[in-house]
Amino acid sequence: MAASNATAERLTGIAGDVKAIADYHVFPLLLESVLYALFTVLVVYYCVQYWQDTRRVRGIFVVSMCLYAACSLAWALDVCLLWLELYHFVPGRLSLVDPDGAVDQTLAGFDTKSVAANVLLVHGICESVINPPAFAIRFNASLNGKASIILITIALSSTTIAQIFATGLMARKAWEHRRAIRQLPQMRTSPKQIGLVTVLYIVIETGIIYTILWIVCLLLHDRILGERGYQWSTYWMCQIAGIYPTLIVVIVSLRTSMLERSNTDSVCLDDGPLCFATTANDSDVLHVTVKQELSIGTVEHTYPCD
């Protein structure tokens, strides 16, 4: 009777462990794998555009490849963690080959190191993209306990604050150019679809959604939604931190950047001298010559007035 009770308790514990693995690792890894696949497609598309482009910026390309390599490493760590759980932890619980719990301790240690590595990797990615790193983090033999929690909290908080500051600056600049372009008569009569696309580009480029995701990740790290929310945030945020900067690079490389186009439009909006003239052969046709002072010199455009 005592043996049957022990067996029932053991099976109940194993069932709870399997459920925890599914909730905290299997399903989050599926989401991370989907994001990683999207990131791979985006990187392949960017590589094709890069080799076809005549104006190549090697520095940005190298940074983008480093982002992809870092996210690949984080995804590989999570896959390795799940492999250890399914092929070592669960069979060990079923066969009782590890009565001292050495596998449990090894797995717990690897889990802690994997989470800490992912968070610090995300922090490093975002710091290198948003602003130059102002300090180096040294964490020898401190991946467990309160030191690890404080370290990860500081990393996430500093990156979130930097992202909010950068988003505010870009949003202000984008809004100023948006208001200037809307003053044009042709923009006043444009269809609403064009305005919606412009707003969508501005939301993407300024990083408003990205900042909101960082704030949500910081709250989840403090376990606002419990342990499940914390575990999920360590999976999807690492891939998002690599996808979003690369997406901005692709948008700019396609010459569809609203911020870049607004800078060009602001130059064209500058007042320039207007000259009215008639042709020598046809005095009845009126032409308008517009002179623009650009960085490459003075450019004249002559337009016939019907």
Helix (H) or strand (E) holding 276: strand 274-278
Higher pLDDT, 209 or 275: 209
In DSSP notation, 157-175 reads HHHHHHHHHHHHHHHHHHH
Distances (CA, A) of 268 to 124, 189, 211: 39, 19, 32
Listed residue (69, 67, 86) closest to 29, CA to CA:
86
Listed residue (50, 45, 70, 52) closest to 60, CA to CA:
50
pTM for the model: 0.62
Q: What is the model's pLDDT at position 177?
A: 63
Q: Which two tokens stand for residue 32?
A: 């991370």
Q: What is the model's pLDDT at position 34?
A: 95
Residue 294, classed as helix, strand or coil, is strand
Higher pLDDT, 59 or 151: 59
Higher pLDDT, 34 or 64: 34
The answer to whether 126 touches 163, Cβ cutoff 8 Å, is yes
pLDDT digits (tens, 9 = 90+) for 97-123: 554 455 555 555 545 555 555 555 554
**Has residue 141 got a pLDDT over 60?**
no
Q: What is the model's pLDDT at position 272?
A: 46
Q: What is the model's pLDDT at position 6?
A: 63
Give percent of the chain with pLDDT exceeding 90: 6
Q: How many angstroms separate the CA atoms of 193 and 200, rounded? A: 11
pLDDT digits (tens, 9 = 90+) for 43-80: 999 998 888 877 777 888 888 898 898 889 888 888 88
Domain boundaries, the chain: 2-268, 274-305
